[in-house]
Copies of this chain bind each other. A is one copy, B any other.
Amino acid sequence: MRQASTILTVATRGRGFTEITQEIATWLGATGIQEGLLTLLCRHTSASLLIQENAAPAVKTDLAAWFERLAPESDGYAHDDEGPDDMPAHLRATLTGVNLSIPVRYGRMQLGTWQGIYLAEHRRAAHRREVALHLLGE
């Protein structure tokens, strides 16, 4: 049994979803670990991780509209030092969460056919985001 870890850096272009499934699969393959447990942690409070549909682009449009409905930009927040998009970004990150755990078999993540891993950027501006990857297995 052994461990591997790395930091994946994701350059976002502002609010939206960046699929990172392939980058993670490539790193996983390079470790040579065949069976184990993969853990992802997004090291930010206004970006987050989610597993969602990887085929229909309209899903992302609807997800973004839903985030705006559940945690809208408004001038009604107590925390507004960093602008009106900051507090809704924290709320949206809370909604989806910042960590994922994915079993690995035969050197591959055991995702379903239609599942992709996405980093969700919740701020308006482009950011460099870090995702800590950890793998334990053999």
Q: Which residues does A use to contact B, with CB under 8 Å?
A: 1, 3, 5, 35-37, 39, 41, 43-45, 50-53, 56, 58-59, 61-63, 65-66, 70-71, 77-79, 81, 87, 90-91, 93-103, 105, 110-115, 130, 132-134, 136-138
- CB of A56 within 8 A of CB of B43, answer no
In the complex, what's the smallest C-beta–C-beta distance from A90 to chain B, in angstroms?
6
Q: Name 26 A/B residue pairs within 8 A (Cβ), A-sorted.
A: A3-B35, A3-B36, A5-B35, A5-B103, A37-B39, A41-B102, A41-B110, A43-B113, A45-B52, A51-B98, A51-B99, A52-B94, A56-B79, A56-B81, A59-B87, A62-B77, A63-B90, A63-B94, A65-B78, A66-B91, A95-B95, A96-B97, A99-B101, A99-B102, A103-B133, A103-B134
A62, A77, A93, A113 interface centre (most CB from chain B within 10 Å): A62
Determine the distance from Cα of A94 to Cα of B117 in the docked complex, in whole angstroms. Answer: 12
User: Using Cβ atoms and an 8 Å threshold, which residues of chain B touch A103?
Assistant: 5, 39, 41, 132-134
- CB of A87 within 8 A of CB of B62, answer yes
